[in-house]
Amino acid sequence: MRTIHQLFGKSPFEPLVAHTEKVAEAADLVRPLFDSYVVGDFKRCNEIYGEISQVEHDADTIKEDIRDHLPRYLFLPVDRGDIILYVRQQDHIADAAEDVAMLITLRDMETPEPFRTLLLKLVDEVVTAADLLLVAGKEMAALLESSFGGPEVDKVRGLVKEVANQESQADETQHKTAKALLSPDCELDPVSISLWMHAIQVLGNLANAAENTGDVLRTMMARR
């Protein structure tokens, strides 16, 4: 009688980590994107945009795969809804990375100072927030091993808190960047300003998505 193996359903946690890794890839392309942009290497920017799109698409496929494999008869160590919410929020990070790449490659724009410095600072903070979250996400295997409790949880909680700090930092920088862009000294044309405003907004969304994903992670651990 060979029943035992039928007890084990397809774990959603392995694809969850695979999704995290894909999203991390997308987030890590945002810095090089802006670095190339500010020096006027628009050709390189278009290439990076293509790469981000590809990675975002891969992440989407994994996301759908996770959703398709969460039937109700599976008993999971965390709430089923939390897993779905988690991938959705995490996916928003990749979406935002793709959106911002799409926006800035619409038009070859100037980045006059002090706007440029602030913009790069904003990019740095936003990407750091995402990176921290993704480090936390990759702890999933260890969380699973300790069944979402113990010191492992403290570690992840610490990371999630840092994500939140980084996000509020980014909020502040976002405000300053927008102000610099809209100041009367800024010599950009109105269309560029409008497009940049939009791009800054999307960068903010990226950090928000990271924070929201962190919140879901926290809920997962709190329901223990």
Partner 1 sequence: MSPTTIVLILGIIAAFYMAWNIGANDVANAMGTSVGSGALTLAGAVVIAGIFEFAGATLVGSHVTETIRKGILEVSLFQPDSPLLGEDGPTILMLGMVAALLAAGVWLQIATSFGLPVSTTHSIVGAVIGFALVAVGKSAISWGTVGTIAASWVISPILGGLLAASMFIFVTRFVLRADRPIEATMRIGPHLIALVFFILVLSFIYKALKNVVAEPTWWFVLLTATATAAVGWVLGRAWLRSSRPGDPDNPFDYVERVFAKLQIVTAAFVAFAHGANDVANAVAPAAAVVQVARYGTLPDQLPVPFWILVLGGVGIVIGLATWGYKVIATVGRKITELTPSRGFSAEFGAATTVLIASRLGMPVSTTHTLVGAVIGVGLARGLAALDLRVVGKIVNSWLVTLPVGAALSAFFFLILRAIFL
The binding site for partner 1 (CB under 8 A) comprises: 1-14, 73-78, 142, 144-152, 224
DSSP code of residue 106: T
> Phi-psi bin for 75: left (phi > 0), alpha (psi -120 to 50), beta?
beta
197 CB burial (10 A radius; 0-12, 13-18, 19+) = middle
Task: Name which of 38 and 144 has its Cβ closer to partner 1.
Answer: 144
Task: Name which of 13 and 42 has its Cβ closer to partner 1.
Answer: 13
Shortest reach from residue 17's CB to partner 1, in Å: 11
Question: φ, ψ for residue 72 (rounded to 5)?
Answer: -70, -20
Shortest reach from residue 33's CB to partner 1, in Å: 33
Task: Name which of 52 and 156 has its Cβ closer to partner 1.
Answer: 156
User: Both tokens of residue 79?
Assistant: 């709430």
Shortest reach from residue 224's CB to partner 1, in Å: 8
Position 61: which residue type? T
Shortest reach from residue 66's CB to partner 1, in Å: 11
Task: Name which of 8 and 190 has its Cβ closer to partner 1.
Answer: 8
Shortest reach from residue 131's CB to partner 1, in Å: 19
C-beta neighbour count of 145 within 10 angstroms: 10
Q: Is the dihedral of CA 175, 177, 183, 189 positive or negative?
A: negative
Task: Name which of 179 and 224 has its Cβ closer to partner 1.
Answer: 224
